[in-house]
Amino acid sequence: MDERIVAELIDAFPKLIRPAFMMTIPLTALSFSIGLILALITALVQIAKIPVLRQLARFYIWIIRCTPMIVQLFVVYFGLPNVGIRLSSFPSAVLVFSVSVGAYCSETIRAAIESVPAGQLDAAYCTGFTFPQAMFRIIIPQACSMAFPPLSNSLIGLVKDTSLAYSVALVEVLATAQRIAARTYDYFWLYLEAAFVYLIICSVLTIIQRRAEKFLERRR
């Protein structure tokens, strides 16, 4: 690794950090938030056994979990224009990622809710709670601490998956590294540097996760 490459990598670093902050992190945060709401709705629809919606939820989870995310991205970005729906890169990515988080995390959330002893729901009813009150005040808070580790996993997974949006012309960390490398031909070093940027983001998330788990542990 000669001096030229060192200088190039130092020069490239802020250029990679910039899309991390401008693109990867907002894309992750937005998609994950929408995805969690979808996941909660999908889980509750199944737990409350609401007819029709429940089958719809199963169908949605089935489709999303059993098709590759990159194919979904292609269908949305390159395919939908054929039927008159034109989405640019960012909305396409948000759509695919949040729908994916919704499908995977709904199973996590459902399992977590079902792991809270059913007797607590009975007790809540006999204390005068309505179903929504019991869910949101008693069951879901406990399910959250149960679901927290697997949901953190999904979040970290999503950070890395956002690199797939490169394929639908989204200029994020990987695409930026690709562009710089295309000029200098130092693919090896620049892709390593891109990996390093993801490593930093995910490490920070891992540290936050550990702290939060300790905090949740204390409140039990």
Partner 1 sequence: MLELQHVRKAFGDVQVLRDISLSVNRGDVVTLLGASGSGKTTLLRCAGFLNRADAGTVVLDGESYDLQSASRNDVLRYRRQIGFVFQNFNLFGNKTALQNVTAGLIIPRKMDRSQAEKIGLQALEKVGMLDRKDYYPSKLSGGQQQRVAIARAIALNPKVIFFDEPTSALDPQLTGEVLNVMKQLADEGTTMIVVTHEMAFARQVATKVVLMQDGVVIEESDPKTFFENPADPRTAAFIRHAQWSAEEESQEARI
Please report, as ranges, the residues that interact with partner 1 according to CB under 8 A.
Answer: 116-117, 119-120, 122-130, 133, 137-138, 141-142, 145, 219-220
Choose between 78 and 131: whose C-beta lies nearer to partner 1: 131
Residue 162 DSSP symbol: G
Which three-class secondary structure string do you get for 114-149? HHCCHHHHHHHHHCCCCHHHHHHHHHHHHHHHHHHH
| Closest among 102, 80, 103 to 91, alpha carbons compared | 80
Locate 138 and state its tokens.
Answer: 């008693």
To partner 1, the closest distance from the beta carbon of 126 in angstroms equals 4
Give the Cα separation of 112 and 32 in Å (integer).
18
Helix/strand/coil percent split, the chain, to 5: 85, 0, 15
| Minimal distance, residue 218 CB to partner 1, in Å | 10
- Name which of 183 and 219 has its Cβ closer to partner 1: 219
Do 205 and 155 contact (CB within 8 A), yes or no?
yes
Choose between 129 and 191: whose C-beta lies nearer to partner 1. Answer: 129
In the complex with partner 1, which residue's Cβ is closer, 70 or 121?
121
Least spacing, CB of residue 75 vs partner 1, in Å: 41
We find the least distance from the C-beta atom of residue 49 to partner 1, in angstroms, to be: 14
